[in-house]
Chains A and B, each alone.
Chain A
């Protein structure tokens, strides 16, 4: 086990250092970018980000990047394999005395949900299986955001996307539920796995601090509000991310070697409709008429999840 860093108590304790600097081409109010900013406060600047094709590929455009750290863009399916190559190379070079251990870097995969939930699942599974010592940050905006918000394996039931337009024959929009990536990853028994939210930065940073103690895969999925895709005012991103947690849609949790613990449970859950009604991507569930069956199913899924957790804890 590595050294544990003291946990933060409140927002005031959040490190002042910025390792993601202003001036990016990301959309205003990007929830993923806010997540990344907090993650990099936790990780520091001795980092190499290994990126998969997605919105954040456009953060590094020749000859500029907004990072204090290093960067390698790979392709859509294989960022974890790129992380494997970089991690192994750094280890070999240190072993052979060709790299000063002071020069070592944390290797961090950075992908969207299209890569994490769909195309990159095989290479992610491989890297976790091999117990690669790396971090993995998935900014999950629940669709292929960079190409104009098409459905991905992360798209939830009832969401309108560019490839699930609500229509007469498919009024719900997306009629498939979101894949449970947390459980897919957890079945590999990684050292550390957590969900995070840009609306809960203290929880987020403390999770990185707990993760740091462990050798092996340290995996994070952040729900990342996407103003253009979700149909939000950019100023609403944090509010909507918070509502996702307060309604129970996005459970904040972690799993250390597979043992699940929730890190924040609302005392009283708000109705899911509050989260849905403020996003244009769910507007068709309310207008011109309410799609009661879909709304009920979404609420029931959330209730079911929390009921299971209650039963599990006893």
Chain B
């Protein structure tokens, strides 16, 4: 065991290295590139028994990774944002192949306008693909989640690919103290990949990815994926317990922070949860019984955990770092779906914050808590965008330079 200061990208690369993967097809994109550069360096030095190949696009990269996985190799690939969307077709395809590929997405806002800093519209666009999704808050969690992801994906009750998500810049380029586990401990937790179902060999011809004709066949295979994803929730609980017993850290499908006696709850995901936790502490200092619920597993959606966490609470606010244009916050609608028909659920409000990496300041969190505490029962509220006066002034100035906005 070794403790080092690592960026999220380096931590991800360590997770991949310790998982003793066979194959990495790669394609660069900011802010993910440091992951594949790190792996390329280690492979070049002979520190990993892994084949590395540079591809011509993310679409080709995901195809090659999935095809290698279908042939029986443990594969990995990584991307961000535009790259994820460029390869989007293959996410659904590879998930349908039922191969246990593990991918990392380093979240970054989607074009246009083109930008570099994070929000979750990229990863959430992939929510219906069949990939399981783990959203990380810390660099340590990134490393550990990659290892857990292989164990989860390769479980015969699951056999679905997994996407591990971290926020660009806030995690990808931020150094945090990270414990690098011993390889032997990882080996104890993660057995080698020896698939019974995925292979290509001369003695046993095998057709994979074949067409179906008619809705009945299609429905059958799609619903099988849904059942396997739901099953993955149960498998995840086992996997996380075993991870804790061997590697000493616990990661539930959701994480509660000062939640037990809380009346007012922030619901968040990813690295901005750290800002939310700080705000919860501040609110407690002012006498508000605040808490935070962080969604770590997003697919399968841990509905039961969410209901249990929010049962009996007075108010909850989902802070969505994404926007479904024309609808509002994506996670808000999922949480609302989980809570509907519940007798003792909280009054639920929706805020959009942190788009394109925009900070959420302590003052904005204060505003959220004010709204939550002051909300009247039965009152419906549309999603509100978090935006400070100073930010408004800044964009107004830019608009002036661009010759737009109010005439003088």
Contact = CB atoms under 8 A, between A and B. Distances in A.
A105 B67 CA distance: 14
A100 B204 CA distance: 13
Contacts of A68: 205
B87 to A, nearest CB: 9
A98 B59 contact: no
A104 interface: yes
Nearest to A25: B213
A99 B201 contact: yes
A69 B205 contact: yes
B63 A82 contact: yes
Interface in A80-117: 80-86, 88-93, 96, 98-100, 102-105
Interface stretch (B47-55, B167-175, B256-264, B323-331): B47-55
A86 B207 CA distance: 13
B63 A62 contact: no
A83 B25 CA distance: 12
A169 to B, nearest CB: 35
Nearest to B213: A61
Interface in B206-241: 206-213, 217
Contact of B73 (A82, A83, A92, A122): A92
A121 to B, nearest CB: 10
Interface string A126-137: 100110000000
Contacts of B73: 88-89, 92-93
A71 B208 contact: yes
B38 interface: no
Contacts of A46: 202
A115 to B, nearest CB: 13
Contacts of A194: none
Given A61-B210, A61-B212, A86 B70 contact: yes
A99 B25 CA distance: 21
Contacts of A126: 55-57, 60
B207 A78 contact: no
B89 interface: yes
Nearest to A48: B200
B90 A88 contact: no
A8 interface: no
A275 interface: no
A261 interface: no
Nearest to B49: A96
B67 A72 contact: yes
A194 B93 CA distance: 31
Contact of A81 (B67, B206, B212): B67
A122 B57 contact: yes
A105 B202 contact: yes
Nearest to B208: A72
A85 B90 CA distance: 13
Interface residues of A, number: 49
B354 interface: no
Contacts of A70: 200, 205-208
A74 interface: yes
Contacts of B93: 74-75
Interface residues of B, number: 42
Contact of B60 (A63, A78, A88): A78
A181 interface: no
Nearest to A79: B63
Name, among B49, B55, B194, B201, the residue most crowded by chain A CB atoms within 10 Å (CB to CB): B201
Contacts of A73: 208-211
B124 interface: no
B63 A81 contact: yes
Contacts of A130: 53
Contacts of B56: 81, 122-123, 125-126, 129
Contacts of B22: 89, 92-93, 96
A84 B51 contact: no
A67 interface: yes
A235 to B, nearest CB: 28
Nearest to A83: B67
A78 B59 contact: yes
Contacts of B25: 81, 84-85, 88
Contact of A50 (B67, B201, B217): B67
A156 B191 CA distance: 55
Contacts of A77: 59, 89
Contacts of B67: 50, 72, 74, 81-86, 89
12 contacts: A60-B207, A65-B207, A71-B209, A71-B210, A72-B209, A81-B55, A84-B53, A93-B71, A98-B72, A102-B203, A103-B202, A130-B53
Given A89-B200, A98-B72, 17 more contacts: A68-B205, A70-B207, A73-B208, A75-B89, A81-B60, A82-B64, A89-B68, A89-B71, A90-B71, A91-B51, A92-B68, A92-B73, A98-B194, A102-B202, A103-B202, A104-B202, A105-B201
The 7 A-B residue pairs whose C-beta atoms are closest, nearest first, are: A85-B67, A126-B56, A81-B60, A89-B71, A85-B64, A103-B201, A73-B209
